[in-house]
A and B are shown apart, each in its own frame.
Chain A
Amino acid sequence: MSRVWTRDRRVVTAGGRQAAMATELDGEEETAAAAGKLTGSPQLSVEDDLREMAKNAAWSVSSYKPGNNVLSLRDDNLDTYWQSDGAQPHLVNIQFQKKVKLQLVILYVDFKLDESYTPSKISIRAGDGFHNLKEIKTVELMKPVGWVHISLSGNDPRETFINTFMLQVAILSNHLNGRDTHIRQIKIYGPRPNPVPLQPFHFTSQEFISYSTIR
């Protein structure tokens, strides 16, 4: 027990250091969020106005070990994982059927179980297809256990969401210089659509909402 505790503490302090570094690197507040990402949270908690988007997307990976293929990323089972089998960077490609608004990528990794397979540096890229992917976010993880939240929002309020056809999660490096990587789950969140179509804004008051739909 105590070892776990100390390790956790170490993680926290390391995370802090990491965050400081990140601040120097990227220079903005997003690193504060990055500090939270490093360890991961045991519970998957998402704000109410977001929902999972990638159920109907096409998922592919750059490489995999037989038995640990892309399906393991989406099976809602934390005991299974996708394992890459090739040279870095390892890629997870998510192609949507239409242009979607995305806000959040959450992945489940477990440093305690996967050790050197645990990713340490992840880049998120977006674009219309493979040909024009642009990096929108890079994050570093430090011995994470649990759900790691990676926000896709920029600083500008207009960049709260990214509007894209395709998302790529690239694992640039692993902990302890590991080669292949393990990821247990990936979830992608975007804003809920307005329950009332064609509206510029969501209704917030009970008076409006109770009149806004028929069931």
Chain B
Amino acid sequence: METLMVDSVQNSLRLFMHRNAIFFCERLCAEFPTEVRFELSHFSHYVTGSLATVIVVFAAFWTSMPHSRYLFAMSCFQMNLLQEAEATLCPANEPNAEACFHFILPSYQDEIHFRVVYIVFRICSFQHSLESQYDYILLKLKAFTLPSSLQVPDGAAGHYLLGLIYRYIGRRGVAIEHLMQALAIDPLLWAAYDELCVLGAVEDANEYFSDMAAQHIQKQYLSESNSLNSSNGSEFNNGSSNMSVTFVDSIPRQSKQLLANNAREISSIPPSSAIAKVPASNSGTSNFSQFITPPAATQLSGVAPPPLCRNVHVSFNVANNDIATKSNNIAVQTPRRKLLDEGKLRKVSGRLFSDSVPRRSTRLSAEAIAVASSNATQITSNGNSHTSAKFLGGFSSSSSSSSKVNAASSRSLTFKKGHSWISESFDEGRRSEDFDDSRMENMATTSSYTSMSGDVRYLEQGKTIGDLAQDSRLISGAQELLCLLRTLGEGYWLSCSYRCQEALEVYLKLSEKQFNTGWVLSQVGRLHFELVDYYEADHFFSLARRVSPFILEGMDMYSTALYHMKEEMKLSYLAQELISVDRLSPQAWCALGNCYSMQKDYETALKIFQRAVQLDSRFVYAHTLCGHEYIALEDFENGIKCYQSALQIDQRHYNSWYGLGVVYLRQEKFEFAEHHLRKAYNINPQSSVLMCYLGMAQHALQRNEDALEMLERAIAADKQNPLPVYQKANILSLDRFDEALNVLEQLKESAPHESCVYALMGKIYKRLEVHEKAMFYFGLALDLKPPAADVATIKAAMEKLYLPDEMDDIL
């Protein structure tokens, strides 16, 4: 009955029948009030997104279960209760979450939690596209139920999450440290790289995706494939009973289970003790390898025991490696036999895969390559067997499918997927278009890593024992992938440091296939946007939308570009579309708010931007836009608050610094203004608009020389921008009339419909007492229909022109 119910819950979840799942969860909880069940119910609640329910359920069954705690922390994190999240992650006797992470990491029981928490987190952040959300749910569930996921290696995800928490708490330094560690463990964790870029902590893009990283990936994959194999081995033994094992929380029990189930690779040493015995020399291992290689650990245990937290970061130790692989190879043997039978199950497995595999992005498969290749190298380095990487990969996936058939739920493959998904989830969210491409291939190729390197291998092929040539090809695949990542990484880094032109060049180096993806196109659009080239930005953003109609990334920028271009129709269309794509995304509401703001309905716009903030309080741009609206409504106090909260989230959000600068300019606190504008300028030193404003602030501070110099720089930075030229003329018009007139004459040519130019010329001529010309230019300025205020000033100037001295001149 229990199993049936669990099955039913899981089936329901797989089929997205959440209500059914919740219903059965409740029955299950009532019938078998074990912690395990509560976990499950937790999950289905989380799936339906009722965070509050999670909390209630949790509060009712608060135990020391790390699972629940992570989930709870996650909920807190999502609801922005960062302190609670940290506190939850920390046991009472631990000073902070960090320590807790380290405390928990070593026990592999908890590794899973990282994964789960991590995945849940990603789900939350990528709620945008419903489809992918379901994938995540699936993955998450599988990761949760899979015993093989116990053996998930890296602490990268954990570090990444911790990095995020610290970032939002505002401890930038610690956050960077953790993100760096995450990236060191898993070079393919683009999300961490992304965060680092946003934090402005990247010095050189290349170092993160260097050949070192390639080696690291190989090593990592080596350990991973080990675990896959071994887990598969145990999988076959365990059958459906595994599931309950996973849920078991207490380590002793876990180890007992392992003892019972696991004939081969994992020794009888309880994981915790294994870890304790891992020697210092072994500290480089990822967690996973640790528990995979308990024999190794025991053998080396003569050495001083390492601190618990150590296991995560450093690279694999070779000695350990060998031992690990020995045990691993034993593990491989049996499954292989199994595999032969597997062929019969191909159809079934194919079907099974079809529900999960297609969701992998190409990048995922790229990850798999790397994994595969490292696996290959591991084996060759041992010299023990020449089992090809493909064999292993194919094996692992096929075995998982078989286990799906055999057991109640599938394990190993999903684990692997879960893992690779984690590292790539970031992109997955953005590159939904990749799904389409990869779907077809992946359907056929259960071992998807091959699809990336260009030769599509089918499972059958994968089963054949390969040779060294294949291995090296896979290695080169990893390098290829890293090369791609390097390009993307460099581009992204440059664009985050607002070296837009360079970034554009880097992106142009991408292959056409890669370039024509939603993410890259929207990045390019963003770069043009930063360069104040709104037409090009429009072009690329609309391309991005054409390539992937559901893209949300960067659409806030797009709407702002349209706002600047006063493209009312396009903007409202965009807003409509975005709202229909996902009405819970802040980007959609930002676009809508921009619509209203363009119609000068600032109050409605403000409300809408506030809604965007409510939807995602970590969405920086919404805060800034709120600030802009407050300023438009002349509520400087609240405007400043908004800008400051934006800066609290992201110090490098120059728009807010600019906003503050403008507020202070308006309030005539010029020194403050200069300071804030300079901050903005330092972040985005290539923006001619910022330079222009900085020049204006300096002019206001009577530092005309500095101002002129800054404006010259602005003119040089962007020849299209007429504003610095005008400002220059404005400054010159104070005493150097001829120069000013020269500048304005040129400006008149480039912007013939600007009344300001004529008005300023009129003003200068008036000062020069060339009345006719002054009159002429004032007239021109008036013809261009400036607003009433200007009409008043100009008319006043015109009247004053004749009234005081030479009335007869005019008459």
Contact = CB atoms under 8 A, between A and B. Distances in A.
Interface of A: 47-51, 101, 103, 156-158, 160-161, 191-195, 197-215
Nearest to A195: B632
Contacts of A156: 796, 799
Nearest to B594: A215
A156 to B, nearest CB: 8
Nearest to B721: A211
A191 B566 contact: no
A209 B726 CA distance: 12
Given A208-B726, A209-B566, A214 B789 contact: no
Interface in B723-778: 723, 726, 730, 750-751, 753-756, 759-760, 763
Interface string B519-561: 0000000000000101000000000000000000000000010
A211 B723 contact: yes
Given A157-B799, A202-B786, A211 B532 contact: yes
Main secondary structure of the interface of B (DSSP, over half): helix
B640 interface: no
A47 B692 CA distance: 31
Given A207-B722, A212-B723, A201 B759 contact: yes
Contacts of B798: 157
Contacts of A47: 788
Interface in B693-719: 696, 699-700
B786 A204 contact: yes
Contacts of A198: 665, 696, 699-700
Contact of B689 (A48, A199, A211): A211
B777 to A, nearest CB: 12
B790 interface: yes
Instruction: Give the interface size class of chain B.
Output: 35 or more
A204 B564 contact: no
A85 B512 CA distance: 78
A75 to B, nearest CB: 15
A43 B750 CA distance: 41
B795 A157 contact: yes
A197 B755 contact: no
A102 to B, nearest CB: 12
B722 A214 contact: no
B671 to A, nearest CB: 14
B473 interface: no
A204 B753 CA distance: 7
Contact of B791 (A157, A203, A208, A212): A157
Given A198-B700, A211-B722, A204 B756 contact: yes
Contact of B755 (A48, A194, A195, A201): A201
Contact of B788 (A191, A211, A214): A191
B666 A197 contact: yes
Given A207-B722, A212-B723, A214-B655, A49 B754 contact: no
A212 B786 CA distance: 16
A49 B624 CA distance: 24
Contacts of A201: 755-756, 759-760, 781, 786, 790, 793-794
Given A158-B796, A197-B662, A207-B722, A214 B689 contact: yes
Contacts of A50: 788
Most buried by A among B696, B791, B792: B792
13 contacts: A191-B789, A199-B756, A200-B763, A201-B759, A201-B760, A202-B786, A203-B756, A205-B784, A208-B723, A209-B566, A211-B720, A211-B721, A214-B689
Given A49-B788, A205-B751, A214-B689, A158 B722 contact: no
B534 A210 contact: yes
Given A49-B787, A161-B792, 11 more contacts: A49-B789, A157-B798, A192-B600, A201-B759, A202-B786, A204-B755, A206-B753, A208-B722, A208-B723, A214-B655, A215-B625
B628 interface: yes
Contacts of A157: 791-792, 795-796, 798-799
Nearest to B763: A200
A212 B760 CA distance: 17
Determine which residue in B658, B751, B784, B791 has the highest number of CB atoms from chain A within 10 A of its CB, and name it: B751
B30 interface: no
B700 to A, nearest CB: 6
B227 interface: no
Contact of B655 (A191, A195, A199, A215): A215
A200 B564 contact: no
Nearest to B655: A214
B607 interface: no
A20 B799 CA distance: 30
B465 interface: no
Contacts of B726: 208
Interface string B477-515: 000000000000000000000000000000000000000
B313 to A, nearest CB: 41
Nearest to A204: B755
B690 to A, nearest CB: 7
A50 B722 CA distance: 27
B290 interface: no
A214 B687 contact: yes
Contacts of A215: 560, 563-564, 594, 624-625, 628, 655
Contact of B690 (A51, A161, A214): A214
Contacts of A208: 722-723, 726, 751, 754, 756
A69 B127 CA distance: 49
A200 B761 CA distance: 12
A197 B669 CA distance: 12
B789 A202 contact: yes
B727 to A, nearest CB: 9
Nearest to B692: A211
A48 B599 CA distance: 9
Contacts of A214: 655, 658, 687, 689-690
Nearest to B680: A214
Contacts of B688: 211
B27 interface: no
A22 B245 CA distance: 95
A208 B688 CA distance: 13
Contacts of A207: 722, 750-751, 753-754
Contacts of B781: 201
B253 interface: no
In this complex, which of A101, A200, A208, A215 has the most chain B Cβ atoms within 10 angstroms of its Cβ?
A215
Q: Which of A49, A51, A195, A201 has the most CB of B within 10 A?
A: A201
B593 to A, nearest CB: 11
Nearest to A161: B792
A155 to B, nearest CB: 11
Interface string B637-666: 000000000000000000100100010011
B171 interface: no
Given A197-B666, A200-B760, A201-B759, A210 B799 contact: no
A205 B566 CA distance: 11
